[in-house]
A and B are shown apart, each in its own frame.
Chain A
Amino acid sequence: MGVVGVSVPVRHAQEKMTGALPYMVNMELPGMLHAKLLRSPYPSARLLRVDASKAERLPGVIAVLTREDLLSWKDCDPYYGPMVRDQAIVAIDRVRYEGEPVAAVAAETAQIAEEAVDLIEVEYEELPYVLDVLDAYREDAPRVHDRIDLHPTGPEDIKSVHWGAGPNVCSYSRVRRGDVDAGFAQADLILEGEYRTPVQQHCHLEPHASMARVRDDGSIEVWSSAQSPSVVRDGLAGIFNLPLAKVRVVVPYLGAGYGSKTYLKTEPVTCALARKARGRPVKLVLTRDEVFHTVTRHATVVRMKTGFRKDGSLTAREATAFYDAGAAADVGPRTSKNGGYSMGGPYRLDNVKFDTYNVYTNKVPSGAFRGFGVAQVAWAYEQEMDRAAAALGLDPLEIRRRNIARDGDRFSTGQVFEGVAFEECLEAVAKGIGWDRPKPEPKGSRRYGRGLAVIAKTSITPSYAGGTVKMDEDGSIEVLASSVEMGQGAETVLSQIAAEVLALPMDRVKYVHPDTDVTPYDQGTQSSRTTFSAGSAIAWAAQDVRRQLLDLGAEQLEARVDDLELVDGHVVLRGVPDRRLSYEQLMRNKYNMRVGTLIGHGVFKSQGGLDRDTGQGTATAFWMQGAVAAEVEVDVETGHVKVLRLVGAANAGKAIHPLMVETQLEGAMGQALALTMFEEMVFEGGQLANPNFLDYRLPTLVEAPAMATVIIEKPHPTHPLGAIGCGESVIPPTAPAIANAIVDACGARVTSQPITPEKVLAAIRARNDAGQPEGEAASR
């Protein structure tokens, strides 16, 4: 049989299509109350007075939460954050961004809760604010936070991060490798460039939602649209000073996350309200406006200086990246660290000096976003490659071929690349787009061009995932993991892995969704780590059950374990198909009754970590490898760009479910296209001007280009099935591939996202005015 590598029916796809699948936003419990939040209208202000007395008197209001509650609860620590304790459940002394929660209400209906929110009186004293990341990194900038209050048990991988190194600097990290001065001395061409990306949002269809109930013994039950259930449980236990056994986090299907639902988001305020709601469940569902005010993708400014020899080979790179943290760290110290050390890309580059600053501003906090800091730096380094190619008279594909890292070469952190297929990805997309074939001829004001990009992305390391497989008395199994099904296919893939190891058909496998009372610890459904980490844990858990079945079989079939195999739900004596017992029979024979449970457990734990001063060390347990080629049409009279085709390739190691890999790649390119061409959160006077889908413009299917995908399968050396994650692999290369294609079409290079028609037209004008083909500043 074998179900791995087969595009079996996606679990619950039909229920999704009919709308029958229950999501967090649909969940209701008897006696449930509805929560609404009061949010700050100011980007920076001191709270002089918060008076909720009128709200409390409104009929139907059950609980109002203000800073007074948080200060009076001696057993509650109101500050939280996965790395820095810089967020409060509701604001205590001041607010640091427009939209920061100041108070919360739970009432019989959402309408009453909303009315009550309007009755809460708050007096603010406005304070100076700073919005731009470079402005914030100035000595005279207003300070967003007075100090960095580190989480005492923050994650392992951020031990290499420096804290508070400069004005408004939350975190700083660096990479030092080789000798950049010597490298630049060898260069025939030195390029300098600056690249920017704006604040952007994930735009998952389902908003953040959570529901909480506090029982008489103080224990908390939470249902949440959370990507990291185990971590949410730990965070809530910390806030409310409870043992983990008294906090239960249950996560149903998620209507997508893209990083936005990692770590604590709405859960602390829902739990705090529930604490005042006398046992009644409290449910909070954010509006779209509120989602925009919850977490964002870091805006960035990346400055890069790169040396090349005449043959196109890289000699050195010095780069500084500024990540706009917004008003809270969230996981930005990691996002910026990982983006920062990735500035060398998937290339042989021995002399690097990278400095990365994650800087507080008075905007919505930035956190995790699919592509995790790497998309912003790939936007820079992959445009640098094309600039160098133009300046040296090389083909963009050729300059990449000459530098691309292969197994045995080293990443900027010094880690040796293993099992990488960057080159195969690059060649696949070049072939797919027809790189060697002539591009379409100009037509009227339309010009056509093609571009390429290839990237390397790491996955959080070290990390942990536990997996459990439980076999029932009829030989069917439950697969227990704390990996969240959010449309990416965790449920199907983890079920396939267990089914494969235990030679079972898919209809005898059930996936048990995260429930921290039941499912084992997992660091989070993030960083494209599920197939790799939880997939390993589940494979080993299934192998544990397999061993138990073989032991039973050896005893009952009077054979050696080595001579037995699992075939189609039976333990079979190899070569003698008649000598076999079903899993059910094995258990029945053992107990002389139709009873029994077999439990297998598996643990995935990766090793790694970087040196604080040099950034050298093991950055990742596996590499995401992706390349994209784009073909565009540019109207040179308006600057309007139509992306005609995108070809994406990624190494999946082993595609457990090929169709879902393809659709992951298509989805990633579509999302990246949106970020590249359209998306930008605009702040005016400290206020977000476009927190809605009319003004925060997302593309439609009309703007979707023709897409093709190529799955590369170069197996990972340690994963039981050779599989690695690829959910992010083609996010980072899409933007620079499009930018490079626009240059190919009309010579206009746009270095800040989104690539609006206006920017393209301005770049066309600048090039015409300068009267030069590429218009790029090259020295030497």
Chain B
Amino acid sequence: MQPRYLVALKLIPGENAIEERGGGVRIGALATQHAVEESALLRRLYPLLPDAASRVGNLRVRVMSTLGGSLGEADVQSDPPAALVLYDAVVETSLGRAVPIRDFFRGPYDTCLEWEELVQAVVLPEPPPAGTRHVYFKYTTGPVTDRPCVGVAGLGRLDAAGRWAELRLACNGVSPVPLEVDCAKAIGEVPSTSLAAELGRQAAAGCDPMDDLRGSAGYKREVTGVYVRRAVQALAGEEVA
């Protein structure tokens, strides 16, 4: 591609706002990762997203990079997507479409965006109920600022009897689009190491990573299993390595 012009969108007014809308929150596409990370509103209602955004690159990157821009780029090794999947985010585009996040990504560097269509906002529906725990494990094989080898996001809630009432897991970096782990078998169960390990094995079997500078596919598969297990254990309130 040989573009004739490079257009900066940063000066478009208003589209960097993070504000309540309906029962949820609308994040303008030009909100920076740093703004997402710092937003008191998001920290209160959707803490997993600021947590993930806070792990993007380094501070210098986060004050420049926008949430909308990084979604549009659709790099598999990115931190926010798994969190957005778990919150059932909807992507609003400049052509007026509202695309559920699961339909937004098509593969590495590929989205459902049409030619001349931009991400305009990310809308989060009603937040999960109180008592929901969250976790984001970013595992890098390089420095902490590196892109994730695997990033595991989780939301979980135990009922009064200490059984899983809700458990959702998604992984960044190990499949062409964010990988969701089917946690149906956990619901109603008491958290246990064997259940966590089983979900880990399931994620390892289900992912489809690529060999690259951050590890071989086999290695990424293996650490995906480890970190999914650890995420489940963390959501159950266990202290994990």
- A positions within 8 Å CB-CB of B: 443-446, 635, 637-638, 640, 678, 682, 689-690, 694-695, 697-700, 702-703, 756-758, 761
Q: Which of A695, A697, A758 contacts B143 (CB 8 A)?
A: A697
In the complex, B219 has a CB within 8 A of chain A: yes
In the complex, B192 has a CB within 8 A of chain A: no
Distance between Cα atoms of A444 and B241 in the complex (Å): 6
Distance between Cα atoms of A695 and B212 in the complex (Å): 10
Distance between Cα atoms of A445 and B240 in the complex (Å): 9
Would A637 and B241 be within 8 Å (CB), given that A695-B213, A758-B216 are in contact?
yes
* Contact A700 B58, beta carbon cutoff 8 Å: yes
In chain B, what residue has the closest Cβ to A637? B226
In chain B, what residue has the closest Cβ to A696? B213
Q: Distance in Å from the Cβ of B123 to the closest Cβ of chain A?
A: 30
Distance between Cα atoms of A310 and B216 in the complex (Å): 41
* Contact B241 A699, beta carbon cutoff 8 Å: no
Distance between Cα atoms of A355 and B144 in the complex (Å): 40
Report B195-241 residues with CB < 8 Å from chain A CB: 213, 215-216, 219, 222-223, 226, 239-241
Q: Which of B141, B144, B147 contacts A758 (CB 8 A)?
A: B141
**Ordered nearest first, which 4 A-B pairs have the shortest CB separation?**
A697-B142, A444-B241, A702-B144, A758-B219
- B positions within 8 Å CB-CB of A: 58, 139, 141-147, 213, 215-216, 219, 222-223, 226, 239-241
Q: Which of A698, A702, A757 contacts B141 (CB 8 A)?
A: A757
* Contact A690 B213, beta carbon cutoff 8 Å: yes
9 CB-based A-B contacts, threshold 8 Å: A444-B240, A444-B241, A635-B241, A638-B139, A697-B142, A699-B142, A700-B143, A756-B141, A756-B215
* Contact A443 B219, beta carbon cutoff 8 Å: no
Which residues of B have CB within 8 Å of A445? 241
* Contact B219 A761, beta carbon cutoff 8 Å: yes
* Contact A443 B213, beta carbon cutoff 8 Å: no
Distance between Cα atoms of A689 and B240 in the complex (Å): 36
* Contact A694 B241, beta carbon cutoff 8 Å: no
Most chain A CB inside 10 Å of its own CB: which residue of B142, B240, B241: B142
Which residues of A have CB within 8 Å of B144? 700, 702-703
Q: Distance in Å from the Cβ of A680 to the closest Cβ of chain B?
A: 8
Helix, strand, loop or mixed for chain B's interface? loop
* Contact B241 A446, beta carbon cutoff 8 Å: yes
Would A700 and B145 be within 8 Å (CB), given that A637-B241, A689-B213 are in contact?
yes
Distance between Cα atoms of A273 and B133 in the complex (Å): 64
Q: Which of B139, B143, B216, B219 contacts A699 (CB 8 A)?
A: B143
Which residues of A have CB within 8 Å of B239? 444
How many pairs of residues, A versus B, come closer than 8 Å at their CB atoms?
A: 50
Which residues of B have CB within 8 Å of A689? 213
In chain B, what residue has the closest Cβ to A635? B241
Which residues of A have CB within 8 Å of B222? 638, 761
Which residues of A have CB within 8 Å of B215? 756-758
Q: Distance in Å from the Cβ of B232 to the closest Cβ of chain A?
A: 14
* Contact B241 A443, beta carbon cutoff 8 Å: yes
* Contact A678 B240, beta carbon cutoff 8 Å: no
Which residues of B have CB within 8 Å of A444? 239-241
In chain B, what residue has the closest Cβ to A689? B213
Q: Distance in Å from the Cβ of A691 to the closest Cβ of chain B?
A: 12
Given contact pairs A635-B241, A690-B213, A700-B58, enumerate 17 new A-B contacts (beta carbons under 8 Å). A444-B240, A638-B222, A640-B139, A640-B141, A682-B213, A689-B213, A697-B142, A697-B146, A702-B143, A702-B145, A703-B143, A756-B141, A757-B215, A758-B141, A758-B215, A758-B219, A761-B222
Distance between Cα atoms of A678 and B216 in the complex (Å): 15
Distance between Cα atoms of A485 and B222 in the complex (Å): 48
Which residues of A have CB within 8 Å of B147? 694
Which residues of A have CB within 8 Å of B58? 700
In chain B, what residue has the closest Cβ to A703? B143
Which residues of B have CB within 8 Å of A702? 143-145
Which residues of B have CB within 8 Å of A694? 147
Distance between Cα atoms of A298 and B225 in the complex (Å): 37
Would A638 and B226 be within 8 Å (CB), given that A694-B147, A700-B145 are in contact?
yes
Which residues of A have CB within 8 Å of B146? 697
In chain B, what residue has the closest Cβ to A693? B145
Distance between Cα atoms of A416 and B47 in the complex (Å): 66
* Contact A698 B143, beta carbon cutoff 8 Å: yes
Q: Distance in Å from the Cβ of B230 to the closest Cβ of chain A?
A: 9
Distance between Cα atoms of A254 and B158 in the complex (Å): 59
Q: Distance in Å from the Cβ of A38 to the closest Cβ of chain B?
A: 18
Distance between Cα atoms of A181 and B57 in the complex (Å): 55
Which residues of A have CB within 8 Å of B143? 678, 697-700, 702-703
Distance between Cα atoms of A690 and B213 in the complex (Å): 9
Q: Distance in Å from the Cβ of A655 to the closest Cβ of chain B?
A: 32
In chain B, what residue has the closest Cβ to A680? B213
Which residues of B have CB within 8 Å of A678? 142-143
Which residues of B have CB within 8 Å of A695? 213
In chain B, what residue has the closest Cβ to A443? B241
In chain A, what residue has the closest Cβ to B241? A444
Q: Distance in Å from the Cβ of B197 to the closest Cβ of chain A?
A: 11
In chain A, what residue has the closest Cβ to B58? A700
Distance between Cα atoms of A758 and B226 in the complex (Å): 14
Distance between Cα atoms of A446 and B240 in the complex (Å): 10
Distance between Cα atoms of A761 and B240 in the complex (Å): 19
Q: Distance in Å from the Cβ of B173 to the closest Cβ of chain A?
A: 14
Distance between Cα atoms of A757 and B213 in the complex (Å): 12
In chain B, what residue has the closest Cβ to A759? B219
In chain A, what residue has the closest Cβ to B141? A757
Q: Distance in Å from the Cβ of A640 to the closest Cβ of chain B?
A: 8
Distance between Cα atoms of A697 and B241 in the complex (Å): 24
Q: Distance in Å from the Cβ of A683 to the closest Cβ of chain B?
A: 12
Most chain B CB inside 10 Å of its own CB: which residue of A446, A638, A678: A638
Distance between Cα atoms of A267 and B241 in the complex (Å): 52
In chain B, what residue has the closest Cβ to A698? B143
Distance between Cα atoms of A277 and B241 in the complex (Å): 63
Q: Distance in Å from the Cβ of B39 to the closest Cβ of chain A?
A: 24
Q: Distance in Å from the Cβ of B221 to the closest Cβ of chain A?
A: 12
In chain A, what residue has the closest Cβ to B222? A761
Which residues of B have CB within 8 Å of A758? 141, 215-216, 219
Q: Distance in Å from the Cβ of B145 to the closest Cβ of chain A?
A: 5
Distance between Cα atoms of A444 and B139 in the complex (Å): 17
Q: Distance in Å from the Cβ of B53 to the closest Cβ of chain A?
A: 17
In chain B, what residue has the closest Cβ to A757? B141
Distance between Cα atoms of A472 and B144 in the complex (Å): 54
Q: Distance in Å from the Cβ of B20 to the closest Cβ of chain A?
A: 34
Q: Distance in Å from the Cβ of A216 to the closest Cβ of chain B?
A: 43
Distance between Cα atoms of A772 and B62 in the complex (Å): 47
Which residues of A have CB within 8 Å of B141? 640, 756-758
Distance between Cα atoms of A682 and B142 in the complex (Å): 15
Distance between Cα atoms of A689 and B215 in the complex (Å): 15
